[in-house]
Chains A and B, each alone.
Chain A
Amino acid sequence: MNESKEHWLAQAREGNAAAFRRLVEPHTRPLYGLCARITRDSALAEDAVQEALFNAWRHLPGFDGRAGFRTWLHRIAVNAALEQLRKRGRHRQESDTADCDDDFLEAHVDESSGPDRRAIGAEIHQQTERQLERMSAIERTAFVMRHNEGQSLEEIAHVLSMNTNACKQAIFRAVRKLRIALEPLR
């Protein structure tokens, strides 16, 4: 964190809301992107960002600087996004916890990049979107945090209050569900 950010952080800690805004405003859109990926809904994402900002403001005195400020903010935003999903009754827990042994990627070894394959690119994208939609909130959040945010398994496990192994399984399940997007390639 550079000197000016340190300055704004110190001011914000003392209750200066304008300083807090200076410090956090550049993170607004990235936070929205994160919440939108988790909630798959722009209105829920905006509400989640709103809650995240207010929670960050309230808990700023507890920010001990051990994690980076961005990581800390994103952690709060993830929880706010999950809370929004819970509130709207859209928190779907998938019962599919079995770890499938078959390797779906093995079925797709033809790597030729022909015109047929390019033509179905748009369809693949839509399928992918649908599959992301079908994931449980935990699977999608674990996947988004790992894939989009680059968070470590330990960090994700901490945020989602699960152990590292369960966190891995959530990511595996998320990836497995995405294989449906590859069906058109069969």
Chain B
Amino acid sequence: MNPINDNDLILYYYKDGLDAGRLAEIDAALEASGKLQARYRRLCEMLDRATEAPPAPAADLEQRVWSRFEQRVGAAAGSRSSAGLIDWLRGILASARGSRLIVAGGFACALLIAVGVGYQVGRVTPPSTVLETPLEARASDRNMANRVLDGYVSGHLRATEGLLLTAVNEDSGEILDGNRELARSLVESNRLYAVAAARAGNVRLADFLRQLEPVLLEVANQSATSNVEDRQGLRDYLQRSDLLFQVRATESRIDVANKRSL
């Protein structure tokens, strides 16, 4: 048998790093030798002493640590949101062409500012007298931003409903021309609201808005010479997909939710 040195005894103490054969050898040697037992006991005592009394934490450790944690999480989320929104806005403005798009961009800017303010308020508002944790404050700011978004989307859906009704029911070339212009601006704002809804975590609304886009494009791209058959095709599609009903239902759901939250 190999002689048993301190390193073997240390590993034996931890029952780690030794194979079963070596462990059995040390077991047997400890039983047979009082001297080895004494050495091993000394090792155990020393290791036990080494772990006594770690530095005591302050009484308010948890309070301090978690308060700082919440501030950091809030700051990180705020800066991420702001940076993302600013980059996105920069991209939108860079690609903006035409007055209609600028109008849509204007709505989007207003919405973005509202959403951004919602996120920022939690970072700069001085503490209120009501005991509110940073997380609760951020939650109420998000609610405010969501309500602003809902308000804009509700108006957008009303405009979309009117557009679709005009597209399937009107015969006047002049009105349909205006409708196409409106459809083009609604396509842009629809995209912006879909992204804003997704950012706000409202996946259902974002999906619905994305579902609207092909129809808006269809209306925007209708040729000036579109005939009755063309309009019948759009009418059939709206009937099959129940899209007008869904637009009204979503609009009404948003309005009801907003009234409840006031």
Contact = CB atoms under 8 A, between A and B. Distances in A.
B54 A33 contact: yes
Interface string A105-121: 11011110000000000
Interface string B8-52: 011100101100000000000000000100111111001101111
Interface in A53-95: 53-54, 57
A134 interface: no
A40 B51 CA distance: 12
A53 B69 contact: yes
B135 interface: yes
Contacts of A137: none
Contacts of A171: 10
B134 to A, nearest CB: 9
B140 to A, nearest CB: 14
B250 to A, nearest CB: 24
A19 to B, nearest CB: 10
B6 interface: yes
Contacts of B56: 42
Nearest to B6: A103
23 contacts: A17-B73, A21-B66, A25-B62, A25-B66, A28-B61, A28-B66, A32-B57, A42-B55, A42-B58, A46-B64, A50-B69, A54-B73, A111-B42, A125-B49, A132-B50, A146-B16, A148-B51, A153-B16, A168-B7, A168-B17, A175-B46, A178-B46, A178-B47
Given A32-B61, A46-B58, A53-B69, 11 more contacts: A21-B69, A42-B57, A42-B58, A49-B61, A108-B42, A111-B38, A148-B51, A153-B16, A171-B10, A172-B7, A172-B10
Contacts of A124: 49
A149 to B, nearest CB: 10
Contact of A28 (B41, B55, B65): B65
Interface residues of B, number: 39
A17 B77 CA distance: 11
B50 to A, nearest CB: 5
Interface residues of A, number: 50
B68 interface: yes
Interface of A: 17-18, 21, 25, 28-29, 32-33, 36-37, 40-42, 45-46, 49-50, 53-54, 57, 99, 101, 103-106, 108-111, 124-125, 128, 132, 143, 146-148, 152-153, 164, 168, 171-172, 175-176, 178-179, 181-182
Contacts of A182: 42, 46
B7 A181 contact: no
A160 to B, nearest CB: 15
Contacts of A29: 57, 61-62
When A and B form their complex, which 6 residue pairs have the shortest distance between CB atoms, in order from nearest? A105-B39, A36-B55, A109-B38, A32-B57, A103-B6, A42-B55
Nearest to A32: B57
A108 B38 CA distance: 8
A25 to B, nearest CB: 7
A18 B74 CA distance: 12
Contacts of B62: 25, 28-29
